[in-house]
Structure 1
Amino acid sequence: MSFDHREPGTDPAAWTAFTASVSAPRVSLDGIASLVVVAPHPDDETLGAGGLIATAAGSGLPVHVLLVTRGERSHPDSPTTSPSRLIAVRDAEFRAALGILNADATAEVLDVPDGGLREHAEVLRAALSHAVDGADGPVLVVAPWRGDGHRDHRIAGEVAEEVVGRSAGTGLLAYPIWTWHWDDPVDPAAPWHRARGLTLTTTARERKGAALAAYSSQTRPLSPAPGDEAVVDDRHAAHHLGETEWFFAPERSRSRESFDAHYRRKPEGWDFDGSWYERRKRAVTLAALPRERYRSALELGCSTGVLTAALTERADAVLGTDISEAPLTRARTRAPLARFVRAALPDEWPVGRWDLVVLSEVGYYLSPADLDRTIDRVLASLDDDGVLVACHWRHPDDEAVTSGDAVDARLAERWPRPALVRHVEPDFVLSVLPGPAVVAPATAEGLAP
């Protein structure tokens, strides 16, 4: 997503009409012991969650803000100021705004370079993990929506999803900032089916408005010169100063209960043996393997073991996992040479090293955070000469969290090396992602230089 904040963007009135039609659960702070807000830049905490921070003040709920960067690149073309000057100005604005929202709120500045969170994600990961792990009671983490369109916002959202995903008793809400500017309420890209609304009291709205006004370096031009324009002008501010503050709840991976119910209805799962589509796809998957033999293969989401049985003919040892126990009973009969364990990805990860990992028709059942963690698990347990083979259906699936194309794109984005094979057709997409020591088959045989 690319956008220019200097463009007029979407009319705030269009969003007002749209959100009036959204029937969304209300945000509740009941049962929450503390609030941790992730702000990639000074003013994000006010724009995205200022009303929530002010509401927490009224209920005596502790609030801690992690300010990731100092926002020194907000005016890269300014002829009148510099990043170092902006750091001092925006630091003072942040302290003033937070004091207006909630005088008891605490803050930690992580000092990541503005625009550089991707390269310094571990700094936020460590700070957020520490804040969550050290809390006394249930924590609600509030962070940018990963689809917001700004690089730092995306990484902040991804890190928050990751940390919350592995922290028991921790909730997550994601706030949009630039989404209001570039998205279209006629056909929105944002996940409004997961929206949550916080109706603001008059006091909370007044505090939010006053806190935003404290950011004069962002809400007013620095000078009449080109490059000194306001970043958050009145039109953009209008998106954030309404009666309701909007958030998105996290996407959840498809549950074990859902799969158990599926196998009660269809004990064989899907028509793996009878369908020509399934048989052909399986043949294409096996043909895409760059080596004839493997030492140790892991199949994630093996279902009833049809592909697993074929893998036992290509690998010395094969382990199949599935979230549901029912299909594994059939898999053990169908593929007696393989081992099987029930495991939910990515938390219940099997111990071992693999030179072949197969992720077939599974990735789109995982939430974005769980998919990222699964990729990390694969990378950590894959031998240098190993490959990940990922194959996914490209048509809609009512039970899927995302799409096959989205999974394939995320794998390509996260994998440290280009795909060795990428096969795309109308029904499915297949990618073979190599370890650092993998070479093409002809090169391995000495047929090509």
Structure 2
Amino acid sequence: MSFDHREPGTAPEAWTAFLETVAARPVDLAGSAAVLVVAPHPDDETLGAGGLIATAADAGFPVHVVLVSLGEGSHPDSPTTTPDELARRRAVEFRDALTELHPDVTASSLGVPDVGIREQPETLRDAVAARLDATPGRTLLVAPWRGDGHRDHRVAGEVAETLAAERDDVTLLSYPIWAWHWDDADAPAAPWDTARALPLTPGVLGRKRSALAAHRSQVLPLSPSPGDEPVVDERHGAHHLRDTEWFFGTPRSRSRESFDAHYARKPEGWDFDGSWYERRKRAVTLAALPRERYRSALEIGCATGVLTAALTDRADDVLGTDIAAAPLARAQVRAPRARFVQAALPDEWPDGAWDLVVMSEVGYYLSAEDLDRTIDHVLASLADDGVLVACHWRHPDDEAVSSGDVVDARLAERWPRAALVRHVEDDFVLSVLPGPGVRSVARTEGLAP
């Protein structure tokens, strides 16, 4: 996603009309012991979650804000203010804003360079994990929405989603910042089906307004010179100074309708045949199989059947499933020896027992709950001598609800045995997870004791 914050963007009035149609669940603080807010830059905490911070602190919840960077890159063309000067100013503004929200709110600053979190996401991950470890009880973790359009927001959101997926004592809420600016209120890309709403009292809204005003370097011009214009002008600020604060809840699995629309635009789905990346990844996946031949294979999310066709050379019986109908017609032509069924997994899990289950490039389209249910189904239907092979893309995907690394980590956490193979490179991660009767290739062939 690319956008120019200097453009007018979507009018606040357009969002007002849209928000009146949203059936949002309320933000519920009950059951949480503390609130932890991730802010990539000073003012993100106020714009995205200032009302929540104030409301939670008023109710006696411990609230801590992790500030990733000092936002020294907010005015790259300023002729009057250097990045170092901006960093010093914004650090003071951040503390002043939190005081306006509630004097008991605590904060820590990580000092990551502005637009630099992509190069060191572990700095944020370690800091948030340490706070979570030190907090008894359930934590409400509040972070930017990963699809917000700003690189720092995306990485911060991904880190928060990963940690929330790994822990049973964390509830995640995600806040939009720049999506209000670039998204289309008539056909929004943001996941409003997961919306959570927090009504703000007049007093809390007034404190949020005062906190935003404390970020003087962002809401006022640094000088009359070009390049010193405010980043958060009145039009953009209006998105955030509503009497309701909006968040997104845990992502849901990608819908059948979205896949149908994808295949309507691109009947072959992805370039499975022509791309060297796809052909090489497929070869690596097939080479990782510990047996030369299988009795019965299940492929979850088979798309147009390119990998399915290869599996029919390695298994006596192959069943391919996909949530969309359109690719299955092509898959049947491409892999005539396989069987195919349209199914939305995990709800429509096929009957049968399998000694090979393949889950390639599909796990990150599942919600955390649906991924866990899928893992449960695989464990229940996998033969003792069977394996699950999971292969997933590691780069950002705007259509995904998590990431390849999140899926691989959850599989490793939930699987009762260590991976037989785990291959990690920049582009994808592949794991072969065995049943209890699986032995190494050398032992199976009598080459090793």
1:134 maps onto 2:134 in alignment: yes
3-state SS of paired residue (2:16): helix
Residues in 2 aligned to 1:88 and 1:165: alpha-carbon distance in whole angstroms: 35
Please tell me whether the aligned partners of residues 96 and 214 of structure 2 are also in contact (alpha carbons under 8 angstroms). Answer: yes
The superposition leaves residues 396-448 of structure 1 with CA deviations (integer Å, 9 ceiling, x where unpaired) of xxxxxxxxxxxxxxxxxxx6259xxxxxxxxxxxxx999xxxxxxxxxxxxxx
Q: 1:139 to 1:286 in 2, by over 3 A?
A: same
The match for 1:74 is: 74
Unaligned runs of 5+ in 2: 255-267, 273-277, 319-344, 359-370, 380-384, 413-417, 432-449
Q: 1:330 to 1:287 in 2, by over 3 A?
A: farther
Q: 1:96 to 1:331 in 2, by over 3 A?
A: same
Question: What is the aligned-residue identity percentage?
Answer: 51
The match for 1:294 is: 287
The superposition leaves residues 311-367 of structure 1 with CA deviations (integer Å, 9 ceiling, x where unpaired) of 49549xx9xxxx9799687224xx5xx699xx94898899x9x997567xxxx9x97
The match for 1:41 is: 41
Residues in 2 aligned to 1:75 and 1:114: alpha-carbon distance in whole angstroms: 11
Q: 1:116 to 1:291 in 2, by over 3 A?
A: closer
**Counterparts in 2 of 1:25-424, with a 5 A limit?**
25-253=25-253, 289-290=282-283, 294=287, 296-297=289-290, 302=299, 311=311, 314=314, 330-332=352-354, 344=372, 368-369=401-402, 371-374=404-407, 416-417=426-427
Unaligned runs of 5+ in 1: 255-276, 388-414, 419-431, 435-449
Q: 1:344 to 1:194 in 2, by over 3 A?
A: closer
3-state SS of paired residue (2:229): coil
* Offset, 1:296: 2.8
The superposition leaves residues 58-102 of structure 1 with CA deviations (integer Å, 9 ceiling, x where unpaired) of 101100100000100000000001111011100000000001101
Aligned residue identity for 2:287 = Y
What TM-score, normalized by structure 2, do the two folds share?
0.67
Q: 1:291 to 1:74 in 2, by over 3 A?
A: closer
Please tell me whether the aligned partners of residues 100 and 211 of structure 1 are also in contact (alpha carbons under 8 angstroms). Answer: yes
Aligned residue identity for 1:147 = G
Residues in 2 aligned to 1:142 and 1:223: alpha-carbon distance in whole angstroms: 34
Q: 1:4 to 1:358 in 2, by over 3 A?
A: closer
* Offset, 1:206: 0.7
3-state SS of paired residue (1:296): coil
The match for 2:434 is: none
Please tell me whether the aligned partners of residues 191 and 251 of structure 2 are also in contact (alpha carbons under 8 angstroms). Answer: no
Aligned residue identity for 2:426 = P
The superposition leaves residues 106-135 of structure 1 with CA deviations (integer Å, 9 ceiling, x where unpaired) of 111011110011111011111111111221
* Offset, 1:21: 2.1
Using the TM superposition, name which of 16-25 and 189-198 deviates more. 16-25
Residues in 2 aligned to 1:370 and 1:287: alpha-carbon distance in whole angstroms: 21
Q: 1:314 to 1:210 in 2, by over 3 A?
A: same
* Offset, 1:194: 1.0
3-state SS of paired residue (1:64): strand
Aligned residue identity for 2:401 = P
Q: 1:52 to 1:330 in 2, by over 3 A?
A: same
Please tell me whether the aligned partners of residues 174 and 247 of structure 1 are also in contact (alpha carbons under 8 angstroms). Answer: yes
Residues in 2 aligned to 1:144 and 1:235: alpha-carbon distance in whole angstroms: 20
* Offset, 1:169: 2.1
Residues in 2 aligned to 1:128 and 1:156: alpha-carbon distance in whole angstroms: 10
Q: 1:17 to 1:293 in 2, by over 3 A?
A: closer
Please tell me whether the aligned partners of residues 213 and 219 of structure 1 are also in contact (alpha carbons under 8 angstroms). Answer: yes
Aligned residue identity for 1:149 = G
3-state SS of paired residue (2:172): strand
Please tell me whether the aligned partners of residues 253 and 370 of structure 1 are also in contact (alpha carbons under 8 angstroms). Answer: no
* Offset, 1:52: 0.4
Residues in 1 aligned to 2:219 and 2:154: alpha-carbon distance in whole angstroms: 23
Q: 1:296 to 1:48 in 2, by over 3 A?
A: same
* Offset, 1:294: 3.4
The match for 2:444 is: none
* Offset, 1:287: 12
The superposition leaves residues 249-298 of structure 1 with CA deviations (integer Å, 9 ceiling, x where unpaired) of 121459xxxxxxxxxxxxxxxxxxxxxx9xxx9xxx99995489736359
* Offset, 1:191: 1.2
What TM-score, normalized by structure 1, do the two folds share?
0.67
Residues in 2 aligned to 1:171 and 1:355: alpha-carbon distance in whole angstroms: 29
Aligned residue identity for 1:98 = L
Please tell me whether the aligned partners of residues 295 and 355 of structure 1 are also in contact (alpha carbons under 8 angstroms). Answer: no
Residues in 1 aligned to 2:236 and 2:72: alpha-carbon distance in whole angstroms: 20
Residues in 1 aligned to 2:174 and 2:101: alpha-carbon distance in whole angstroms: 19
Residues in 2 aligned to 1:118 and 1:70: alpha-carbon distance in whole angstroms: 15
Residues in 1 aligned to 2:186 and 2:159: alpha-carbon distance in whole angstroms: 30
The match for 1:412 is: none
3-state SS of paired residue (2:407): helix
3-state SS of paired residue (1:65): strand
The superposition leaves residues 216-259 of structure 1 with CA deviations (integer Å, 9 ceiling, x where unpaired) of 100000011111000001111111111000001121459xxxxx
Residues in 2 aligned to 1:122 and 1:56: alpha-carbon distance in whole angstroms: 28
Aligned residue identity for 1:229 = E
